Amino acid sequence: MFDESQFDVCLKLWALRIPRELCKVATRALNGYLLDKARIKPITEDSTCERNRLMILSEKVKRSDLSDIPEQVLDEMKKLCEIEVVPYSLTLGYSYWGADHLLKQILPPGVEVPTSFETIGHIAHLNIHDELLPYKDVIAKVIFDKNYPRIQTVVNKVGTITNEFRVPKFEVLAGKSDMVTEVKQYGATFKLDYSLVYWNSRLEHEHIRLVSNFQPGETICDMFAGIGPFAIPAAQKGCMVYANDLNPDSVKYLKINGQLNKVDDLVHTFNLDARKFISQMMSLPESKTSLESDVLTEECEINSEPSKQEAESDTTPVRNDNASIGDGLKGLCADAVAAVPAAKRPLDISKEGANAEDCSVLVSSKRKGNGNKRIRATELSYSKTWEHVDHVVMNLPASALTFLGLSLSLSLSLSLSLM
């Protein structure tokens, strides 16, 4: 592809041979006159004698008589030991130079040198402009070589995004062809196949900003959930999350990520068109049930004298995450609430108190003081689950606004989190 030796730069320098035990003192005396190059140590071993070291002098020291060094510095060195000046050759090769320097040497003058790329786990994602396409393999090799082993695959986006899942097509330019990787953000691990799902690492700050508005115990509806950049951290905060995506591969990895981060009991996944998903969420039946619970919590009504029967109540987790579209959403709410551990949600609803047709989500009340007390659930109002959704996330900038009418038409009082 190219001869790496073309980047070699040979430096003709001078060095001082001194006993190794004097290196520390001599370094202080020669401050400002030793070689100062990134990743190059100015003190090296002497091949002629293991008891000595070579102190490589700066490029500004041109003469062997050391006349470029002040006399007082030389006098201080002479007090330490007899000074022996020797020539020293240093070659800075391909392994020394950074990617930016190498690409400037390779690419034609006047073209913009690609200095940054998106990192997704072990994958480097390039967006090479048309003028640089003839050099794409060279660019990929340099980026691969200079970032290995952190980067093990270099890809370039091919064409424009035309599919409904917003997933680009890629060509692998360097490294292995494995597109399955893991990304870590704000304490969460996300596994994904970058060739099949949408992911943008540059949105990390926006992910953090939005999730910071969520509170434990809230209910989140994520209409375009992807692999879970909002859903997973929201569940980690103790939120109940209904996460939907049109891409079946995204839903697959969303479920995997729920398990990886141990929040799969709080993240309920759907593979529907967003309009159908939100319509069915809005049509969940009204609650007609009085529920009781006996758990430790910080955000529910406090009952100072719970009954013994309540204190001994237990919960059997129920999951129906993959139910059919017709009845899956109707039954999910009660099943999901029943499945959530007490440590992660405001109230623990027993099987006897929640069935597949009673899908209201209990909204807790905040109290000051010591919240770690036994509580007793209050009777739920006759309201729909959708009315208790605290945030709706629509992470689809190109068309998210087209979904607003569906929500507003029902006059719901929601805190709409629109990215």
Is 80 exceeded by the pLDDT of residue 17? yes
Same domain, 331 and 410: no
- State the pLDDT confidence band at 297, using cuts at 50, 70 and 90: very low
| 288 lies in some domain | no
Same domain, 278 and 404: yes
284 and 329 in contact (C-beta within 8 Å)?
A: yes
| 290 lies in some domain | no
Average pLDDT across the chain, whole number: 78
The Cα 54–Cα 50 span in angstroms is: 10
4 is written with which tokens? 């790496």
| 289 lies in some domain | no
- State the pLDDT confidence band at 344, using cuts at 50, 70 and 90: very low
The Cα 229–Cα 395 span in angstroms is: 10
As a residue count, the chain comes to: 419
Q: Per mean pLDDT, which range of 70-79, 303-312, 373-382 is the poorest?
A: 373-382
| 27 lies in some domain | yes
Distance in Å from the first CA to the final CA of the chain = 44
244 and 223 in contact (C-beta within 8 Å)?
A: yes
At 404 the pLDDT is 61
User: What DSSP character marks residue 116?
Assistant: -
The phi and psi torsions of 233 (rounded to 5 degrees) equal -65, -30
Same domain, 61 and 141: no
- State the pLDDT confidence band at 92, using cuts at 50, 70 and 90: very high
Strand partners, 397: none
pLDDT digits (tens, 9 = 90+) for 236-290: 999 999 999 999 999 999 999 999 999 999 999 999 998 898 888 776 554 433 3
Same domain, 275 and 400: yes
Where a domain ends, among 178, 205, 220? 178
Across 35-66, b (16+ Cβ under 10 Å) vs e yields beeeeeebbeeeeeeeebbbbbbbeebeeeeb
Q: How many other C-beta atoms can be found within 10 angstroms of the C-beta atom of residue 157?
A: 15
At 159 the pLDDT is 81
CB contact set of 49 (below 8 Å; sequence gap of 6+): none
Give the percent of the chain with pLDDT over 90. 56
Is 80 exceeded by the pLDDT of residue 231? yes
Where a domain ends, among 178, 198, 223? 178
The Cα 139–Cα 135 span in angstroms is: 6
Is 50 exceeded by the pLDDT of residue 135? yes
Greater pLDDT, 373 or 118: 118
351 and 318 in contact (C-beta within 8 Å)?
A: yes
Same domain, 206 and 345: no
CB contact set of 69 (below 8 Å; sequence gap of 6+): 30, 33, 57, 61
Of 417, 319, 397, nearest to 161 by C-alpha is: 397
Greater pLDDT, 232 or 204: 232
At 24 the pLDDT is 95
At 192 the pLDDT is 98
Same domain, 275 and 204: yes
The count of structural domains within the chain is 4
Greater pLDDT, 404 or 256: 256
| 159 lies in some domain | yes
406 and 226 in contact (C-beta within 8 Å)?
A: no
pLDDT digits (tens, 9 = 90+) for 355-364: 333 333 333 3
Q: How many other C-beta atoms can be found within 10 angstroms of the C-beta atom of residue 394?
A: 22
- State the pLDDT confidence band at 410, using cuts at 50, 70 and 90: very low
Same domain, 276 and 406: yes
| 270 lies in some domain | yes
Is 60 exceeded by the pLDDT of residue 320? no
Q: State the CATH number of the domain containing residue 63.
A: 3.30.70
| 291 lies in some domain | no
Range of the domain at 309: 296-383
For Cα atoms 207, 213, 218, give the angle at the middle one, nearest 5 degrees.
110
142 and 154 in contact (C-beta within 8 Å)?
A: no
The Cα 175–Cα 201 span in angstroms is: 21
pLDDT digits (tens, 9 = 90+) for 156-184: 999 887 788 889 899 999 999 999 999 99
> 52 — alpha (psi -120 to 50), left (phi > 0) or beta?
beta
At 289 the pLDDT is 30
Same domain, 118 and 31: no
Same domain, 353 and 273: no
Same domain, 397 and 274: yes
The pTM of this model reads 0.71
3-state secondary structure 148-184: CCCCCEEEEEECCCCCCCCCCEEEEEEECCCCEEEEE
Is 70 exceeded by the pLDDT of residue 46? yes
CA distances from 112 to 115, 116, 132 (A): 9, 11, 9
Same domain, 306 and 342: yes
Q: State the CATH number of the domain containing residue 399.
A: 3.40.50.150
| 206 lies in some domain | yes
Same domain, 261 and 336: no
